[in-house]
Chains A and B, each alone.
Chain A
Amino acid sequence: MSVISNKREKFFPGAIRFLAVLEMTRDYKIPMKTFINYIFILQSIYLLMACSVQSPHLGGQELLVNDQVIANDTIWQGDVFVQGVVLVSREATLSIKPGTFIRFKKDDRNGDGIGDAEIRVLGRLLALGTEDKPIRFESAEKIPAPKDWSYVLIFSSGKKSTLQYCEFRHAFSGLQVHFSTAKLFDSLFINNYEGIRFGRAQLQISHNTFTDNDTAIRFTRMEGPVTINNNEISGNRQGIFLVPSGQNITDFFEPDRSGRPWNTGRLQIFSNNIYNNRDYNLNLGEKQFWNLDVTNNWWGSLTESSIEEKIFDRKNDGALGKALYHPFSKSSIKEAGVR
């Protein structure tokens, strides 16, 4: 009994002392003032826990989240069931603990065939899993499929978000980043319509694995600084799909503002394994007028004809730029993919 009490006392000293006080009252009379003091202390502890700025969701029971604005710093761990849109407000940080399993209910509210559940981050997202305990984002359906849920969207954020050791399945896009700054490491994108989609952003995408998606990476602006390196991109319909809005990737000056770069970096795609994607490993897509530097990647072949067969560029459409893939890696890059 005492052992258990001692253990308990480590966690709830106030409560145990309160019980002890009650016990004491059987044989002894204690002053009313002392008794009220203990009541006051217990009440304070309870209020502090309930109103903590860090409002953790403790494991053990699934957290059900409907349409919800997260206004304060919040921690998720354990199982989380998302039904609707979770909005992380501008001043809040959503921290997700290793091993957290987030499931999205398919709820197609606008009838476009895509589940509308999503996590939209205007503040900060820190989703830091570990090699042993990745954070999973998946469909909650019994028979899951791509597009069951929308995405984790980081939009117009004024903070820096980081995701590491995360796994994304059954989404329209596992992750979208627009007008925001984020880093993505060691994460797996499998069986989504798109792995990642991003537009104007400051982004580092390193050591991730993309497989069994329709499109692994879709980039809709072609501006930097964006670094895509050491990723394993294979087994998708298409690997990297670029749909820029006309910016000059050579120097990243906006066309009519030459002399003043809007941003401080550029798009870099290197040291990736981009191979064995069904239609194209690289698709310069629509309006991609400028040549694209994609040197020092492994394309799954040592022959130029085989490499070019899986690259859609100016040789396929005269209005597009060229994919400049020379020099290319002569073997698979061992460090690529989730570490």
Chain B
Amino acid sequence: MIDFHMLKKILLIFIWSCFFIDPCIAGIVDGIVLSEKGPLPEAVVLAYPDYDSFAADKKAIGSQPLEKPGQFHMELPPGEYFFVAKGRQNGQDFFSYHGLNPISISDSYKWLPFFALEADQILCSDGPQGIGGQVFYKDESLDSGVVSVYDAQEMRFRGMGLLTSSLDEQGRFWFDLDPGTYVFIARKRQDGAGIGPVRKGDLFCYHSTNPVDIDTAQSCRITISCYPRDNIEAFLMPEADDPRGRRQETRRSASHWNTEALEAANGPPPDGMPLGTIISGKVTDVNGEPVKSIFVTAYPGDNFPLFQMHIIRQKTGSMALTDDAGQFRLELDNGGLYYLVAREKVGEAPVRFEQYGLYEGNVNHSIKLETGMQVTDVHIRVEPIMP
């Protein structure tokens, strides 16, 4: 028999234990791992507390399989995690890195779908120092898109990273890089933009052997495979086993809990919100005609008071694309001195006949503004270079 005092003790022990055992306030994560052929049986989802742990394959919390193929269940203490999925099918290794990583886990229920792809290839040998490769979707090379290089310590891998390069018409790219450890992610947005959030149907492409070490006098070649964000119909082969059932809508809403916040768009703020620090204006050719689809980039210059060429190879996340009227709108995190460059491509060094221009309002190609200030009517002229 349990008397009142015994029951009180048991309850106290239970309550106290909750302060030391995280699962008491665990977040539930369910989901499914899919290959193009359907659910990936016996796939495992791993949650790492940080990217370094993922790279070293340490401190992972693994998933448990559910009764249906490819489905999994996890209970995680609150916090941020890097989620990946691994599995095998027909003797091939499959891998998926979730595009929203790192994902914040609280006590709310989450549904995470993973689009697993065959593991990418990497080959390094003596040669020109750097890395090149090709980006694929369903075994076909992309005909456009961008690939970005991130410092592996960066953790979030969003924006332009250290360098961003346009893919050529066969999905190829090349980066000259100093020795170091890097992460490579390609993206192809349906609207053709090189920047901005990855939306439903856009391709997200994480190289599966990331992070990659670049050594002195080493030349590496990689492949990068893509999946369509949040678009199972496009991802699955026609003959694939479609696992979606009546719970689809519930799961779908659970998989979209805060993606908008994670991938803030470049559009104007909602009504009532402050405008922020903004540089806006127009890109034209030398005859004054507007030029659309030009990337305008603001490079922070507070540490570089004079224009020098190396400045416009610095890292920056401040980029906007001109619209049909040549208009652009750059949202900046802070005020300061910014060097302005407008060009047709992103990332790599300018190429022959590329539309290119610097802001010419002063000899320093720069604009200085305070935080919260808006500078409008900035005019940048571009023309094809190296005739």
Chain A residues within CB distance 8 Å of chain B: 67-69, 84-87, 89-91, 109-110, 116, 120, 122, 155-160, 178-181, 199-202, 221, 245-248, 254-257, 260, 262-263, 287, 289-290, 319
Contacts and interface: CB of A to CB of B under 8 A. Distances in A.
Interface stretch (B86-94, B237-245, B322-330, B345-353): B345-353
Nearest to A179: B350
Nearest to A110: B306
B22 interface: no
Q: Is the interface of A mostly helix, strand, loop or mixed?
A: loop
Given A69-B361, A90-B357, 5 more contacts: A69-B360, A91-B286, A109-B305, A110-B306, A287-B217
Nearest to B381: A90
B168 interface: yes
Given A68-B363, A89-B360, A254 B174 contact: yes
A158 B216 CA distance: 36
A151 to B, nearest CB: 11
Contact of B172 (A158, A202, A256): A256
A141 B249 CA distance: 76
A94 to B, nearest CB: 14
Nearest to A84: B363
Contacts of A90: 286, 357, 360, 381, 383
A156 B357 contact: yes
Q: Is the interface of B mostly helix, strand, loop or mixed?
A: loop
Interface in B168-196: 168, 172-174, 176
Interface residues of B, number: 41
Given A84-B363, A89-B360, A122-B358, A256 B174 contact: yes
Contact of B356 (A84, A156, A199, A287): A156
B352 to A, nearest CB: 6
15 contacts: A69-B361, A89-B360, A120-B363, A156-B385, A158-B286, A179-B385, A200-B349, A201-B386, A245-B176, A246-B129, A248-B128, A255-B132, A256-B133, A256-B174, A257-B168
Contact of A256 (B132, B349, B381): B132
Contacts of A69: 360-363
A109 B306 contact: yes
B385 A180 contact: yes
Contacts of A247: 128
B384 interface: yes
B221 interface: yes
Contact of B358 (A86, A156, A248): A156
A180 B362 contact: no
Interface in B353-387: 356-358, 360-364, 381, 383-387
Contacts of B176: 245-246
A254 B357 CA distance: 24
B99 interface: no
The 5 closest A-B pairs by CB, nearest first: A256-B132, A246-B128, A158-B383, A85-B363, A256-B174
A246 B128 CA distance: 5
B161 interface: no
Contacts of A289: 126-129, 217
Contacts of A178: 309
Nearest to A263: B352
A156 B355 CA distance: 10
Interface in B214-245: 216-217, 219, 221
Contacts of B219: 246, 255
B130 interface: yes
Given A91-B381, A255-B219, A158 B128 contact: no
Interface string B302-344: 0011110100000000000000000000000000000000000
A215 B200 CA distance: 54
B387 A160 contact: yes
A112 to B, nearest CB: 9
Nearest to B169: A260
A247 B360 CA distance: 31
Nearest to A178: B309
B386 A85 contact: no
Contacts of B129: 246, 287, 289
A300 to B, nearest CB: 31
Contacts of B351: 200, 262
Contact of A255 (B126, B128, B307, B309): B128
A172 B127 CA distance: 32
A74 B350 CA distance: 27
Nearest to A245: B176
Contact of B173 (A68, A199, A246, A256): A256
Nearest to A320: B217
Contact of A67 (B216, B286, B352, B363): B363
A150 to B, nearest CB: 9
B356 A110 contact: no
Given A256-B133, A262-B351, A289-B128, A159 B174 contact: no
A158 B304 CA distance: 26
A255 B174 contact: yes
A91 B349 CA distance: 22
Nearest to B352: A263
Contacts of A155: 309, 358
Contacts of B168: 257, 260
A317 to B, nearest CB: 10
Contacts of B216: 319
A134 to B, nearest CB: 27
For B127, B133, B134, the residue with the greatest tally of chain A CB atoms inside 10 Å of its CB is B127
A119 B332 CA distance: 31
B387 to A, nearest CB: 6
A260 B174 CA distance: 13
B289 to A, nearest CB: 13
B339 to A, nearest CB: 13
Contacts of B309: 155, 178
Contacts of A254: 132, 174
